[in-house]
């Protein structure tokens, strides 16, 4: 564990240093501020380089009452840093393009370029970009702190039997109990979920960011979830960063059924459908772990409707080929911080919402919590209420 924490600290510090170096160059050096201001802001930039690694380390080592505010500040700054960097890059591109016009005119007329005017314009653009980043980051924090909304989704399935028409599946995904989200947040999620009177509760991975020893009490409210056919869970990549075997044992202890390349029947009288779940692909590095859809589907009646829980949307390629009617996934957070979603498409075929993939369908949750920055911009959190109906 300590090797992983040390690796994260070194890598995150290097990346943070590069980003802060760019911000310092644009907002401090290029602004030609008076010496006292320049020195103070330079010292602040150096200190901020270590804020995110310090937040991660605090969340792993200090009592939660102390670590949580440190983590909130550290990861909150990470979100603002992301937007400051993005806006400044866009501003620099715009400034460069605008600057090409005077240079072209000066070359054609042999007139001098007004360097001071260009510098003043550059400082103004940098200031506007910084204020915009702070504004968007603050709005994102407010959005993430709101009560999680229930999103109703109707899914028509061709093989759904009459006795299961109207089955309600509540999906929770990417809750990320850890540095900044804890027991109080999860208690409210459990209350909202139970109020929907679900037939099935499906938790599609990334429940935690931390070990069982750190987070057992924070996750304990999950024992209060109630559903007619049960509460089911599949691992996400973050479980494999947090001690997957220990978490599988802990969730089983509190009454959550972990589907590890397994299939169960959901039955009402003579009517039945299958519910399967697979490990996250991150598990391949561990003995005894890894996705195995063939094992999960072995011996099934192919005339039955089949729902698959798989943390990452890209599992749909294999799932559709093997007769899955509906896949429920998460992992993407819907991008969480716009415009990050467009980069997510480089790794996943779907980022949010309901989609048809060949003969199958897939629903990708935007996530119930958040990871890293306590922000949501352009992709609000959700508790998904899926009502299954006969096609």
The sheet carrying 271-277 orders its strands as: 262-268, 271-277, 306-309, 326-329, 360-364, 353-357
Which domain range does residue 298 map to?
Answer: 148-390
- Identify whether residues 131 and 154 lie together within a single domain: no
- Identify whether residues 188 and 316 lie together within a single domain: yes
Separation of alpha carbons 114 and 193, rounded Å: 63
- Identify whether residues 40 and 155 lie together within a single domain: no
Predicted local confidence at residue 241, as pLDDT: 87
Per-residue pLDDT at 294 exceeds 90: yes
Predicted local confidence at residue 74, as pLDDT: 92
Write down which residue in 109, 124, 144 finishes a domain. 144
Write down which residue in 144, 170, 198 finishes a domain. 144
User: What φ, ψ does residue 252 adopt, rounded to 5°?
Assistant: -60, -40
Separation of alpha carbons 185 and 197, rounded Å: 20
Predicted local confidence at residue 114, as pLDDT: 52
pLDDT bin (cut points 50, 70, 90) of residue 63 is: confident
Strands 306-309 and 382-390: unpaired
- Identify whether residues 127 and 165 lie together within a single domain: no
Q: What average pLDDT score do residues 233-260 get? A: 95
Helix (H, G, I), strand (E, B), or coil: what is residue 208? strand
Strands (E), 59-166: 149-157
Pick from 23-27, 46-50, 255-259, 370-374: least confident: 23-27
Separation of alpha carbons 55 and 31, rounded Å: 30
Dump pLDDT digits (tens) for 308-350: 999 999 999 999 999 999 999 999 999 999 999 999 999 999 9
- Identify whether residues 157 and 120 lie together within a single domain: no
Predicted local confidence at residue 70, as pLDDT: 93
Predicted local confidence at residue 108, as pLDDT: 53
Strands 262-268 and 167-172: unpaired
- Identify whether residues 299 and 341 lie together within a single domain: yes
- Identify whether residues 355 and 248 lie together within a single domain: yes
pTM equals 0.89
Write down which residue in 129, 144, 159 finishes a domain. 144
Distances (CA, A) of 254 to 17, 21, 225: 42, 47, 10
Q: For 230, left (φ over 0), alpha (ψ -120 to 50), or beta?
A: left
- Identify whether residues 157 and 137 lie together within a single domain: no
Tell me the pLDDT of the chain averaged across its residues.
Answer: 90
| Count of domains for the chain | 2
Predicted local confidence at residue 373, as pLDDT: 93
Separation of alpha carbons 265 and 287, rounded Å: 28
Place of tokens 């109906």: 389
Closest CA to 250 of 214, 204, 286: 214
Predicted local confidence at residue 7, as pLDDT: 74
Place of tokens 């309901």: 354
Distance of CA 231 to the CA centre of its chain: 22
Place of tokens 């000066």: 106
String of DSSP letters for 329-379: E-SSGGGSBTTTHHHHTTT-S--SEEEEETTEEEEE---SS-SSSS--BSS
pLDDT bin (cut points 50, 70, 90) of residue 113 is: very low
Q: What average pLDDT score do residues 138-158 get? A: 96
Pick from 64-78, 122-136, 178-192: least confident: 122-136
Question: What letter would DSSP give residue 390?
Answer: E
Q: What's the full length of the chain, in residues? A: 391
pLDDT bin (cut points 50, 70, 90) of residue 358 is: very high
Q: What is the CATH number of the domain that holds 267?
A: 3.60.21.10
- Identify whether residues 130 and 249 lie together within a single domain: no
H or E element that contains 217? helix 212-219
Which residue would you say has higher pLDDT here, 34 or 109?
34
Dump pLDDT digits (tens) for 184-238: 999 999 999 999 999 999 999 999 998 999 999 999 999 999 999 999 999 999 9
- Identify whether residues 233 and 137 lie together within a single domain: no
- Identify whether residues 46 and 60 lie together within a single domain: yes
H or E element that contains 92? helix 64-109
pLDDT bin (cut points 50, 70, 90) of residue 20 is: very high
Dump pLDDT digits (tens) for 129-139: 888 888 999 99
- Identify whether residues 77 and 118 lie together within a single domain: yes
């Amino acid at each position: 564990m300590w090797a992983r924490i040390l690796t994260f600290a070194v890598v995150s510090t290097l990346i943070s240093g590069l980003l802060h170096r760019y911000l310092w160059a644009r907002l401090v050096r290029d602004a030609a501020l008076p010496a006292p201001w320049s020195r103070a802001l330079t010292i602040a930039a150096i200190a901020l380089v270590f804020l995110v690694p310090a937040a991660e380390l605090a969340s792993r080592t200090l009592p939660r009452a102390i670590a949580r505010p440190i983590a909130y500040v550290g990861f909150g700054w990470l979100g603002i840093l992301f937007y400051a960097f993005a806006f400044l890059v866009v501003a620099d591109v715009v400034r460069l393009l605008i600057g090409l016009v005077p240079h072209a005119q000066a070359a054609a007329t042999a007139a001098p370029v007004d360097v001071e005017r260009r510098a003043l314009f550059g400082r103004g653009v940098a200031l506007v970009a910084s204020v915009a980043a702070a504004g968007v980051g603050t709005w994102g924090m407010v959005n993430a702190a709101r009560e999680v909304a229930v999103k109703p989704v109707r899914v028509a399935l061709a093989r759904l039997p009459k006795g299961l028409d109207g089955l309600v599946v509540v999906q929770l995904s990417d809750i990320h109990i850890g540095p900044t989200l804890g027991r109080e947040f999860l208690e409210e999620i459990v209350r909202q979920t139970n109020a929907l009177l679900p037939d099935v509760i499906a938790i599609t991975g990334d429940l935690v960011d931390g070990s069982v020893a750190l987070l057992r009490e924070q996750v304990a409210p999950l024992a209060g979830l109630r559903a007619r056919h049960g509460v089911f869970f599949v691992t996400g990549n973050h479980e494999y960063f947090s001690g997957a075997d220990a978490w599988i044992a802990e969730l089983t202890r509190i009454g959550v059924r972990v589907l590890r390349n397994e299939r169960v029947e959901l039955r009402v009288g003579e009517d039945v459908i299958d519910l399967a779940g697979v490990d996250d692909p991150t598990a391949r590095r561990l003995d005894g772990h890894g996705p195995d859809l063939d094992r999960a589907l072995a011996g099934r009646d192919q005339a039955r409707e089949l729902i698959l829980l798989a943390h990452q949307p890209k599992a749909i390629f294999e799932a559709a080929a093997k007769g899955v009617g509906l896949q429920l996934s998460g992992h993407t957070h819907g991008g969480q911080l716009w415009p990050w979603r467009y980069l997510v498409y480089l790794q996943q075929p779907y980022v949010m919402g309901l989609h048809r993939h060949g003969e199958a369908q897939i629903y990708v949750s935007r996530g119930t919590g958040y990871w890293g920055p306590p922000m949501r911009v352009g992709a609000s959190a959700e508790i998904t209420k899926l009502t299954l109906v006969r096609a």
